[in-house]
Structure 1
Amino acid sequence: MGHRLGHAWHGRLFARRRQPLETAHDRTGNKEAAGLTTPTQKLRISAQASRHPRLRRLAIDTAFTGAFNVLIALAITYLTPLGSSFGTNLVFSMCIGILAVVLISGGRLVLWGEGKPHWSLLLLVVAAVPLAWFGGHGLAVWLLGMPAHLPHALDMRYTGASLVVTLLACLFGTWFFWSRGKLQYLEAQAALEKARAAAIEKQALQAQLQLLQAQIEPHMLFNTLANLQALIAFDAPRAQHMLDQLIQYLRATLAAARAPQTTLGQEFALLQAYLELMAIRMGPRLAYALDLPEPLRNLPLPPMLLQPLVENAIKHGLEPKIDGGRIDVSARSIDGMLELTVADTGLGLDAPPGQPGTGVGLDNVRERLRALYGDQADFRLQPNLPAGALAHLTLPMAT
């Protein structure tokens, strides 16, 4: 990224050329907004991670119900004088408890569906308690093979105490499951709102990137057309050749320049077309080489990320130099990161300031990198030995 932050840029960048991308400021002194944007896609939010959320919820509710029934059986066995064994009490507790859950949950689904129940849920619980008690009691007697009439079954004290325990257990269980369901609902709503906010933010950042990218293209076109206009006056054949190359370049970039993503191979092809244009204008004063390993050609890359750096290297590093110079653009994969470099043999970062440039290209590179990659990307300018400057860009290697 041969940022030859020319002349007006040399003084500014000399003092901050080693700053990482995340600490750089724009030309107005305002910090650039950090963020992450990728091509906006439709977000599909699911409150449940499982493919079968209802079955998963039923399994969890059943496990909670079973554990709660075990606790009730333990309490009845060791805290009451009924004299029944833990196994017997567990069967009664399971039958009554599971039937109560079925009646309350089924009634809730019939009356309110997936909606939020209101205070009348309490009436449903009160109505379900005697049905669950008598039904579960009868089922337990049948499962255990007990006589239909037990002495303690007619004991009103036992019946009353058992009904009270069942009522309290149902109220507690209903409150527990209702509270948990409400919490899950609120968490799902919060996740949905967060996803919507993220989608809106991504759309805004994508629009910002498109605006920034649109600023790069006219900058390059105006420079090329100005050079072409000057060339027509004294070398018409050369101007015609330059015009042909410009048309070829524009055809190649028309689709890629408006796309949210391109490939590293396409980006290097556009760089070659651009450098061919510059070589026509500068003649033997410009030499260049592009080094792109074959395995990296299909890596995705934001479009026109390297061209502003090459353009600045020519404008502020090689053009002002009498003998011109050379530009080398290379790509490497190191430790899962993509490293891109643009090195030139121009005037270097310490050259005295000349005619001020707009610096739009460099500002756009910083803005786009920060918006796309946040703190994961790093952009540095440093002297190139023995002469010139070297722009070094490191960013995550997407696949």
Structure 2
Amino acid sequence: MDFSDTPQEAAFRAEVRAFLEANAKRRPPGEFSQRPHQLDGAEVLAAAKAWQAKKAEAGFVGITWDPKYGGRGGSQIQQVIYHQEEAQFDVPRGFCERSVDIYLPTLIAYASQALLDRHLRPGMRGEEIWCQLFSEPAAGSDLAALRTRAERDGDDWIVNGQKVWTSRAHFSDYGLLVTRTDPSAPKHAGLTFFFVDMRSPGIELRRIRQIGGASDFNEVFFKDVRIPDAQRLGEINGGWKVAMTTLQNERLATSEVLGPDSEDLFLMASQLEIDGEPAIRSAAVREKLADWLVQTQGLKYTRFRTMTALSRGKAPGPEATIGKLVGASKLQDIASFGIDLLGLSGAVTDHELAPMDAWFQEAMLYAPGRRIAGGTDEILRNIIAERVLGLPGDVRVDKDVPFNRIPSG
């Protein structure tokens, strides 16, 4: 494992720092880690789009993309370096990054040059935002069980069905959509992949109010929605392969779980008092802090393994899956313990009244979702067991059965 930058990487890091210092505000030392901006509000969205455009102009969007697509032609490790440096600044994140990191690479892999010319630059600049129309009420972890239908009608496809838990759909311009086009084929074989204009006639959005008060998830209903065949990505009934491209990019992008971490808990424990003295002097508190410090360092050096592989031009290994699996659970535990430390004030969720801006309370409410998004704990454990450890796969009795013969209800 290599912990140091190469001369080329050090030069790139200096370039990134110079750009950020000139265009963004650094978080002061001793301040809590960056909290994700709430995915709501026109002003925050406008600020995020403006920041995305500024990054694109400076060449820090699509860092790994081929220059013919508007990218920099850089390495994966340069992308990691940029994220490391940007995390130290107070910038509006969480709106445009997924379009570039997850969704547009699917277009690059499967779309025509004409479509790439039309959509890549607006997506890179934040002028168009994309979402992912995958999960359904009966198809979450088992994505291949989806039932949204697409039927051919000349040069168009007519789509009917429902998607759910679609993040950011309410301010997205386009969405990646996987549908069932051959119910008589086995469930993985009868799927076809499209992208769709989210303002198409027949699309209805219903925002889902979450327990923490935010509303960045959506139900999306399709009623006789027409999609041109030109917006199909991949072969007819070959959509599972395209979906796997998107999911692989998603799991790499979501491997680092944002939220209060061990350093934030140390800071809070040094500020709060228990029985008239700082909480950090309690042996029980220090024991828990030590446990999470060990986990945090383990995740840090596991990510370094990924960075080392990327810097040597190799594909990342299972580290991203491990990081997401461990990090999401750790976030939930840290948020719970932070609330316990706050005592009775831990029940207060008003940002203006609660200590620490109610960050730990907020994290406690959204943390369970981090164990679902981008692959549930159970799915990730199966991936590690089967693809990393080489253990026997789960029994899948419906794998080769025609989808319309699989019992439902």
TM-score tier by shorter-chain length is under 0.3
Question: Which structure is higher in helix share?
Answer: 1
Higher relative contact order (CA 8 A, sep 6+): 1
When normalised by structure 1's length, the TM-score is 0.23
